[in-house]
Structure 1
Amino acid sequence: MMTKTIIMGMYCVLLSMGLHAQPKVDVQKEIEFAKAQYDLMLKANTDITRFPQSIKKDGTLDTRKSEWWCSGFFGGSLWYIYEYTKDNKWKEAADKWTMAVEKEKHNTTTHDLGFMLYCPFGNGYRLTNNEKYKEVMLTGAESLSTRFSEKVGLIKSWDDWGRYKGMYNYVVIIDNMMNLDFLLWASKVSKNKKYYDISITHADNTIKNHFRKDYSSYHVVCYDKDNGKVVAKRTAQGAADESAWARGQAWGLYGYTMMYRETGHKRYLKQAEKIAKFIINHPNLPADKIPYWDFNAPYIPKEERDVSAATIMASALLDLSTLTNKKKYYTIAEEMLVSLSGTAYKSKPGENHNFLLKHSVGSKPENSEVNTPIIYADYYYLEALIRYSKTKL
């Protein structure tokens, strides 16, 4: 009888504590903050030909035209707010800023159509099944596919690299992995296997040529357009050619996690987990899990953090935790989100031109967007919050 009483007592204690650990991040609170900030941002940005990007060095808002690679992130962020709130106010705003990028479906001069089109139109189509969004994306996927070379086996990133003007004729950056989700979607919807084949070939050749033995990645790999041979491995935004630029590692983690999710090929899962291991176990990853802008930056710990890299990593790790059912990825992502939602990295209400997060780094070597809000940090933060709210491990 005594034993039964003790067991019942322990059971009641467990119930009072909660049988499952409570989430450490209040997603509802973070979305309410996002609503307040983006409501102000919508009121301040009435010209739909100019998209909020960052803050200039003089403190004024930096906006860009639709051909800029980040033009899709604002509309995409609005879709995430709509997804969580189901408030048609956000749906209408998201549609407005999504359609403002429509003309880029014909743009064949950039590899960034995944960011520009799939982030806003892809989320919009996923949430509304609006046929006009599908047409835009299928046209855009065809435009993107024109940048693929059978000889090289990769999607070309830059037509020329200003820093080395005329020196390299086929430049590919790790960021390009983020376009493949777009092409895989297009293959599925259009039944055109070409887009699938491009994605697989690009992902496989990136594994072959972009990664070091420790599974860190180069930022830039330059090929010969005529025979596909690698001619140089360099960086544009990292600290050095052989360094591990933080956002580049995030792009790789996100890209291969997605490739496994969409194709089921185990080689992509292996790649994603090896990249995750490199990031998580790196001795220069700070205790709060918000990485420095480069894992090998020369003046750590006095170097800037890159919040944008953390948001991408957090979102990817949550995806990876779901695909593998491994709690360790969820735990690291949660630690990142706890830090991001704290006062050290989050804007105060109404400040920083209403961006959600501060302390991102665009390109330190070019002294561009250093230690400032950047729109894609907000986008992946919102995506991570949505994923976090749905992940139960």
Structure 2
Amino acid sequence: MTTTPPASHSTVTTEAALAAALWTVRRNIDVFGDRYPDDTTRDDRYPLRPAAGGFPEGGNRGWTTSFWPGMQWLAWERTGDTAFRDAGLRHAADFARRVRAGEDLETHDLGFLYTLSAVAPWRLLQDENARDAALRAADHLMRRFLEPAGIIQAWGDLSDPAQRGRTIIDSLMNMPLLTWAHEQTRDARFADAVRRHTTQLREHILREDDSTFHTFYWDAETGRPLRGATEQGAHDGSCWARGQAWGIYGFALNFRATGDDELLGAAWRCADYFIAHLPADSIPYWDLVYTDGSDAPRDSSAAAIAACGFLELARVDVDPERAARAQALGETLVAALAADCAPRGPADSDALLLHGVYDLPKDRGVDEGTLWGDYFYLEALTRLADPDWKSYW
């Protein structure tokens, strides 16, 4: 692959955008080595993940570290450059160590963490250590399944009353780890958890107007649905843009896994609401209550996730008109991101995408690059460059 930055985009093609993104991923391997960048940039540069709770600087903690090796696996597939593969394998070994040591596992985001760090190298290389790590993570994730509510609890110690019975829309993206574990083991408990959890989210986290709650609570003892709320949106009744994007992609992936047509319908409901609330330039505000003319920050990561969701819908929807519409919508979002949110020159930032938002109410990562935004942008570019790309999810 090229070792010099490609020209900045004046006319942006998929090929040019992909070349720029791959160059940045390669350079970041030299910058970070086997350590992990933080969740978001600061002034468009990723610092190392700060030391905390006994973890060293650059240590493997939190929910976002796997997006970094996920980008490396995508880059290896596109280029064949063994530097990407070797970096991905070193991270796979570190994630295997993390799950065996029981380090920072009290989260539903084990799906994000182990799909990209371990399932990906298993799918690509049949790496047995990665397979074992992913199965261990799936078993650990199943400890968070709450009867009789039929949900995976999102965060925290299962005995914490503030978190008990709570899930979030992001959880849809953690279900593919359980689907994969079922494929590997034929253990029905994994598939049953996916079916029940996604049904509960379809029925309760998706509102009648097709917007979504960020988070929803069930009574963990009786299973009774309680209330919706937000953690990162503008207010409980608003529609957090990244959450709506998780709904598009997550419901589509779980339709593929289960064949449940109601999940396909849920994905399209989320999609239609998302598109109807986009500004003219197709880069969403961080919450969809904001419209053209607002000075609210945008969230490029929500557009990148939604783009992957549309491109997945284009694959799985058997209706040719809907599939064509989904493909066109995905292409539109990727083109907007490449034109308006990618750095003008790859050396200008460590991020593949600028103008993301992590958590505006807590003033975290506002108008910055995000690891997940970078990953999903590169995945969307990969899907456009290779329509036969085999998903890690």
**Taking structure 1 as the reference length, what is the TM-score of the superposition?**
0.86
Superposed CA deviations along residues 164-196 of structure 1, whole A, max 9, x for unmatched, are x85453211111111111100100111111100
Q: 1:86 to 1:167 in 2, by over 3 A?
A: closer
Distance 1:295 1:267 in 2: 24
Q: In the alignment, which residue of structure 2 is the partner of 1:109?
A: 106
Report if the CA contact (8 A) 2:93-2:129 is conserved: no
Counterpart among 177, 190, 193 of residue 198 in structure 1: 193
Aligned twin of 1:156 = 153
Gaps of 5+ in 2: 1-10, 51-58, 389-393
Is 1:140 paired with 2:133? no
- Distance in structure 1 (CA, Å) of the matches to 2:94 and 2:37: 9
> Which runs of 4 or more aligned residues in structure 1 lie more than 6 Å from their structure 2 counterparts after TM superposition?
57-60
Contact 1:25/1:337, CA 8 A, preserved across alignment: no
Would the aligned equivalents of 1:347 and 1:355 in 2 still touch at CA under 8 Å? no
Match of 1:315 among 308, 315, 318: 308
The 10-residue stretch of structure 1 (359-368 or 327-336) with the greater mean CA deviation from structure 2: 327-336
Deviations 1:235-256 (A, max 9, x none): 0000010100000001111111
Match of 1:390 among 386, 389, 392: 386
Match of 1:238 among 210, 225, 233: 233
Q: Relative contact order (alpha carbons < 8 A, sep ≥ 6): 1 or 2 greater? A: 2
Q: 1:303 deviation in Å?
A: 0.9
Q: Secondary structure at the match of 1:99?
A: helix
Structure 1: 5+ residue stretches without partners: 1-23
Partner SS, residue 100 of structure 1: helix
For the 8 Å contact 2:40–2:358, the answer to whether it is kept is no
Alpha-carbon distance in 1 for matches of 2:351, 2:202: 35
Instruction: Give the residue type in structure 2 aligned to 1:90.
Output: F
Partner of 1:78: 72
SS at match of 2:361: coil
The letter for the 1-side match of 2:99 is: K
Alpha-carbon deviation of 1:60? 6.4
Q: Deviations over 1:329-370 (max 9, x none)?
A: 111111111111115443532122x21111000001010111
**In the alignment, is the contact (CA less than 8 A) between 1:219 and 1:234 conserved in 2?**
yes
Please tell me whether the aligned partners of residues 361 and 370 of structure 1 are also in contact (alpha carbons under 8 angstroms): yes
Is contact 2:279–2:291 with CA below 8 Å preserved after alignment? no
Query: Is it true that 1:361 corresponds to 2:357 in the alignment?
Result: yes
CA distance in 2, matches of 1:120, 1:260: 23
Instruction: From 115, 120, 123, give the equivalent of 2:117.
Output: 120
Specify the alignment match of 1:290 in structure 2. 283
Q: How many residues align?
A: 362
Alpha-carbon separation, structure 2, partners of 1:146 and 1:160: 11
Match of 2:15 in 1: 28
CA contact (8 A) 1:346 1:358 kept: yes
Cα distance in 1, alignment partners of residues 225 and 64 from structure 2:
28
Q: Which moved more, 1:300-309 or 1:180-189?
A: 300-309
Higher mean Cα deviation, 81-90 or 241-250?
Answer: 81-90
Amino acid in structure 2 at the alignment position of 1:301: S
Give the counterpart of 2:205 among 205, 210, 221: 210
Name the structure 1 match of 2:371: 375
Contact 1:117 1:140 survives alignment (8 Å): yes
| Residue 92 of structure 2 is aligned to residue 98 of structure 1 | yes
Asked if the contact 1:53/1:62 (under 8 Å) is kept, the reply is: no
Residue equivalent to 1:16: none
Aligned pair in 2 of structure 1 residues 298, 234: CA closer, same or farther (>3 Å)?
A: farther
**Alignment check: 8 A CA contact 1:71 1:101 kept:** no
SS at match of 2:39: strand
1:130 aligned onto 2:117: no
Distance 2:83 2:163 in 1: 47
The structure that has the greater radius of gyration is 1
TM-score, scaled to structure 2:
0.86
2:371, 2:46 → 1: CA distance?
15
1:365 is paired with a residue whose SS is: helix
Task: Provide the rounded CA distance (Å) in 1 between the counterparts of 2:70 and 2:269.
Answer: 29
The secondary structure found in structure 2 opposite 1:361 is: strand
Deviates more, 1:321-330 or 1:306-315: 321-330
2: CA distance, partners of 1:377 / 1:347: 17
Letter in 2 for 1:225: A
Return the alpha-carbon distance in structure 2 between the equivalents of residues 166 and 139 of structure 1. 26
CA contact (8 A) 2:249 2:305 kept: yes
CA distance in 2, matches of 1:276, 1:343: 21
Cα offset, 1:139, TM superposition: 0.8
Structure-2 residue corresponding to 1:41: 28
Q: Is the 8 A contact 1:159 1:171 kept in 2?
A: no
Deviations 1:19-77 (A, max 9, x none): xxxxx96333223212321222111113x343343223696625253221001000000
My pick for the range that moved more, 194-203 or 213-222, is 213-222
Paired residue type of 1:43: D
Give the corresponding residue for 1:227.
222
For 1:256 and 1:349, locate their aligned partners in 2 and report how far apart those are by CA, in whole Å: 33
Q: 1:59 to 1:349 in 2, by over 3 A?
A: closer
Residues 300/68 of structure 1: CA separation in 2 closer, same or farther (3 Å cut): farther
CA distance in 2, matches of 1:51, 1:62: 4
Change (3 A) 1:363 1:183: same
Choose the corresponding residue for 1:56, options 10, 33, 42.
42
Shift of 1:274: 1.4
